[in-house]
């Protein structure tokens, strides 16, 4: 077990109807002027934005809107948000949406309190020291951004989309409002992509070289088993509130780092996927469904017993003590079968990616002899192998 | 799943040697004058207090000492601490010890900022609104007070010891410094009592009537399985750092409520045990080892399948699908066997309690027709049955 620091002060409000308390919750956190940041029209059409604004009005808090956040959120809107907050004297950003909206809001909150270009935080080396108050009304269970310290933004530089993360304490939201009922109207594909993202956040932590991490292994396995049980429920009945609720809280537990505090984590699959979604503008969860199992096959031999543990404890697969490799492989197969049943892509063709783009994708990742991953350190040829596996996989 | 609010802002520093950063951590949390609150001589003899003071000196923070906290901490010392903090202008209390020292510190922090008698908070109805900054250097894994919102204090009223808890947000420590190595010198009995307390904190949450709590069930089971694996390790080799580390972080996860946010919780066994430890001044964990399995036997028929789930998922006992009662009973037997192997008492005689005291103990608990517990609501006769079970149990 490694030494660690862990601090996740987010004030969570979870359950049916909690979005109606948005005003009182903002007030408790000192809000006087709120920027409501959101994506497309669904927050308007569903009436959620009206509810939130009514609640803010009731609490006597003034507010303004900034919509237009796209999946894989762009830097341009962050700059616009920063300028708007400064001009209007906003003290609190309330993200109404999913991971993209929350990440865009995080970047705005950090940028307002910084003299330079917020993109500095994403290029590394500069860490945000202060930020506006950040809250969210979550509308999709996926990124875990509502309780995480991470923020991923896309910026076009020299004609190429750069997708860059920034992890820091300032990114941890001050409060999160989570009503699982808001997710019952999501299209099945978005639900599935979110569920895949949640599982991958745990698996990036689960596959580690750190020894004696029984407790956090147990927490990881608990979250993963929940997802294995809930994905079929929610795919067959999107209105299943209890399944939605378990998945929504799992999204937070998967990525607030209680599952990974004490260990070396991998994140190689996420880094590879970030190139895919930056290049093809595909859904992050869909890209992960293609990359992660391919990565697992390529690194399995590094620690067969850990993969056997995954198969046994997460999918309940009996251990073949004579041939643990068979157990390990059965775990990966079970994962693919689960994701396939949820309608997720499992290879390049299903994702809309092209095998011939692999050299370009790899080149973005490993220029200047950079490597990715920790469980197994991946250089260019290794990442090529993973992507070829992902491209060529057939049922 | 029930609606909930969850906010645990504690800043945790975990691992080898972190106590040497106490000064810097106090400084980060704004400390200028620190009261170091501790128990008996062990913190002095081990050199821990010197280390902490050296670290505070290095950070330029002035400090004073208040020792003398006993297990089942008393109100008298809390009053003394409140007066001392006011007189000396203390802004931060640093608890160096276990649950009793931290609880005494919590009561002091709340009391200093309150005009009335701090005991009001423990009699119910009055909730602390403000408190001094509270940090701790943990020396035993047990109560989980380092990350919990609870605080239990004893006060002698009309010749009878009253043990009363207070749960509130002000009780959540601002920071916690946790070096598992500090626990490697604990006597085996204290280690075992702590481990039992940790398991019971989870089980009080696990046995619930709330349905569809798969995720938190999974977290509970992860913590419990870790304890099942680590207790034999630490009893056979007290210097096993990795086992100590898993147990120490388990103590926090068991009681910061991530395992129970979304459900009705029981707490009947804890309430019954509080009477035992107030009456006999026995160790809390030892009292729980006697009460909890007796309680389990008395309530098992209320939800046999949940006890079968406990047996299967925590102890890996094969499910007897034809007779799930047998599986359920085997789980309780496995729990007793684990605790016995750790040297814990399993009945009144081994605890030093007397069967003839049962009417007095029950009378303290249920006067004015009060009941205890939620999984099964217990009146006087039911609690009598539990205590008689606990008194009469033989291997």
The mean of the pLDDT values for chain A is 97
Distance CA B379, CA B382 (A): 5
Q: What would the two tokens of residue B355 be?
A: 């069967």
Among B9, B15, B246, beta carbon nearest to A2: B15
What would the DSSP string read from start to end of A11-72? EEEESTTGGGGHHHHHHHTT-SEEEEEE-SSHHHHTTHHHHHHHHHHHTT-EEEEE--PPSS
Continuous segment of H or E residues that includes residue B153: strand B150-157
Share of residues in chain A with pLDDT > 70 (%): 100
Per-residue pLDDT at B195 exceeds 80: yes
Per-residue pLDDT at A376 exceeds 80: yes
Which residues of B fall within a CB distance of 8 Å from A14? 3-6, 261-262
Average pLDDT rounded to a whole number, residues B324-348: 98
Distance CA B234, CA A78 (A): 52
Q: What would the two tokens of residue A32 be?
A: 């006087």
pLDDT at position A163 is 87
For residue B107, what pLDDT band results from cuts at 50, 70 and 90? very high
Q: What is the pLDDT of residues A38-66, one digit of tens each?
A: 998 889 999 999 999 999 999 999 999 99
The model's pTM: 0.96
Q: Return the number of other C-beta atoms located less than 10 Å from residue B15's C-beta.
A: 21
Paired with B37 in beta bridges are B66, B95
Nearest Cα neighbor of B177 from B71, B3, B36, B340 is B36
Per-residue pLDDT at B22 exceeds 80: yes
The interface predicted TM-score (ipTM) is 0.96
Among B4, B215, B249, beta carbon nearest to A215: B249
Q: What is the pLDDT of residues A285-343, one digit of tens each?
A: 999 999 999 999 999 999 999 999 999 999 999 999 999 999 999 999 999 999 999 99
For residue A348, what pLDDT band results from cuts at 50, 70 and 90? very high
pLDDT at position A125 is 86
Distance CA B368, CA A113 (A): 57
What would the DSSP string read from start to end of B174-196? SEEEE-GGGGTTS-HHHHHHHHH
Which residues of B fall within a CB distance of 8 Å from A229? 214
- Whether residue B14 and residue A8 make contact (CB cut-off 8 A), yes or no, is no
Give the B-side interface with A, CB within 8 Å: 1-18, 211-223, 225-226, 229-230, 242-243, 245-246, 249-250, 253, 258, 261-262
- How far CA B150 is from CA of A186, B17, B147, B167, B247, in Å, comes to 39, 27, 9, 4, 20
Per-residue pLDDT at B160 exceeds 90: no
Q: What would the two tokens of residue B82 be?
A: 């409140």
Residues 6+ apart with CB under 8 A from B46: B182, B185
Among B16, B215, B225, beta carbon nearest to A3: B16
Average pLDDT rounded to a whole number, residues A200-226: 98
Q: Using DSSP, how many helices (H) and how many strands (E) does chain B show?
A: 16, 9
Closest residue on chain A to B225 (Cα): A218
pLDDT at position A165 is 92
Average pLDDT rounded to a whole number, residues A209-235: 98
pLDDT at position A356 is 98
> Min CA distance, A25 vs chain B (Å)?
11
Q: What would the two tokens of residue A336 be?
A: 């693919």
Per-residue pLDDT at B163 exceeds 90: no
For residue B214, what pLDDT band results from cuts at 50, 70 and 90? very high
Paired with A378 in beta bridges are A372
For residue A37, what pLDDT band results from cuts at 50, 70 and 90? very high
pLDDT at position A367 is 82
pLDDT at position A72 is 87
Per-residue pLDDT at A160 exceeds 90: no
SS3 B3: coil
- Angle between helical axes of A268-280 and A284-299 (0-180°, round to 10): 140
Among A13, A214, A246, beta carbon nearest to B229: A214
pLDDT at position B72 is 87
Q: In the A/B pair of chains, how many CB contacts fall below 8 A?
A: 129
- Whether residue A215 and residue B6 make contact (CB cut-off 8 A), yes or no, is no
For residue A222, what pLDDT band results from cuts at 50, 70 and 90? very high
Q: What would the two tokens of residue A41 be?
A: 């029209």
Average pLDDT rounded to a whole number, residues B160-185: 95
Q: What is the pLDDT of residues A87-106, one digit of tens each?
A: 999 999 999 999 999 999 99
pLDDT at position B41 is 82
Give the A-side interface with B, CB within 8 Å: 1-18, 211-223, 225-226, 229-230, 242-243, 245-246, 249-250, 253, 258, 261-262
Mutation site, A212, A215, A217, A249, interface B, largest B CB count within 10 A: A215
Q: What is the pLDDT of residues B113-123, one digit of tens each?
A: 999 999 999 99
Q: What would the two tokens of residue A137 be?
A: 């009304």
pLDDT at position B291 is 98
Q: Which residue has the tokens 């991953």?
A: A373
Distance CA A372, CA A267 (A): 8
pLDDT at position A322 is 97
Per-residue pLDDT at A248 exceeds 90: yes
For residue A161, what pLDDT band results from cuts at 50, 70 and 90? confident
In chain B, the N- to C-terminal Cα span, in Å, equals 38
- Whether residue A215 and residue B9 make contact (CB cut-off 8 A), yes or no, is no
Q: What would the two tokens of residue B100 be?
A: 């009793």
Among A1, A223, A230, beta carbon nearest to B242: A1
Q: What is the pLDDT of residues B124-141, one digit of tens each?
A: 889 999 999 999 999 999
Q: What would the two tokens of residue A40 be?
A: 């497309």
Q: What is the pLDDT of residues B67-88, one digit of tens each?
A: 999 988 999 999 999 999 999 9
For residue B101, what pLDDT band results from cuts at 50, 70 and 90? very high
């Amino acid at each position: 077990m490694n030494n660690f620091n862990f601090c996740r002060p987010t004030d969570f409000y979870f359950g049916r109807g909690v979005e109606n308390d948005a005003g009182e919750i903002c007030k408790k956190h000192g809000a006087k002027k709120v920027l409501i940041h959101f994506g497309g029209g669904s927050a308007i059409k569903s009436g959620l934005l009206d509810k939130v604004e009514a609640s803010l009005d009731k609490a006597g808090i003034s507010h303004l809107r900034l919509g237009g956040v796209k999946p894989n959120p762009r830097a341009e809107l962050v700059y616009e948000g920063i300028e708007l907050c400064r001009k209007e004297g906003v003290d609190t950003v309330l993200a109404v949406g999913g991971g993209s909206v929350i990440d865009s809001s995080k970047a705005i909150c950090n940028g307002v309190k910084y003299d330079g270009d917020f993109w500095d935080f994403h290029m590394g080396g500069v860490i945000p020291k202060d930020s506006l108050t950040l809250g969210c009304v979550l509308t999709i269970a996926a990124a875990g951004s509502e309780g995480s310290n991470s923020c991923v933004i896309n910026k076009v530089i020299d004609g190429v989309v750069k997708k860059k993360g920034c992890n820091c304490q300032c990114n941890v939201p001050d409060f999160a409002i989570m009503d699982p009922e808001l997710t019952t109207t999501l299209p099945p594909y978005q639900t599935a992509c979110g569920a895949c993202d949640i599982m991958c956040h745990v698996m990036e932590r689960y596959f580690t070289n750190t020894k004696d991490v029984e407790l956090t292994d147990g927490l990881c396995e608990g979250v993963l088993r929940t997802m294995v049980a809930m994905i079929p429920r929610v795919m067959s009945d999107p209105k299943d509130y209890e399944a939605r609720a378990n998945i929504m809280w799992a999204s937070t537990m998967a990525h607030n780092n209680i599952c990974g505090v004490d260990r070396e984590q991998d994140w190689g699959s996420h880094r590879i996927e970030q190139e895919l979604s930056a290049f093809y503008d595909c859904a992050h969860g869909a890209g992960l469904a293609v990359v992660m199992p391919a990565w697992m096959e390529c690194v399995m031999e590094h620690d067969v017993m850990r993969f056997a543990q995954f198969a046994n404890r997460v999918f309940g697969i009996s251990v073949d003590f004579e041939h643990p490799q068979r157990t390990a492989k059965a775990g990966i197969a079970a994962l693919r079968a689960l994701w396939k049943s949820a309608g997720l892509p499992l290879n390049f063709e299903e994702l809309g990616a092209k095998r011939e783009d692999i050299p370009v994708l790899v080149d973005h990742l490993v220029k200047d002899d950079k490597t990715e991953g920790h469980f197994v350190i991946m250089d260019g040829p290794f990442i090529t192998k993973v992507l070829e596996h992902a491209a060529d996989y057939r049922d």
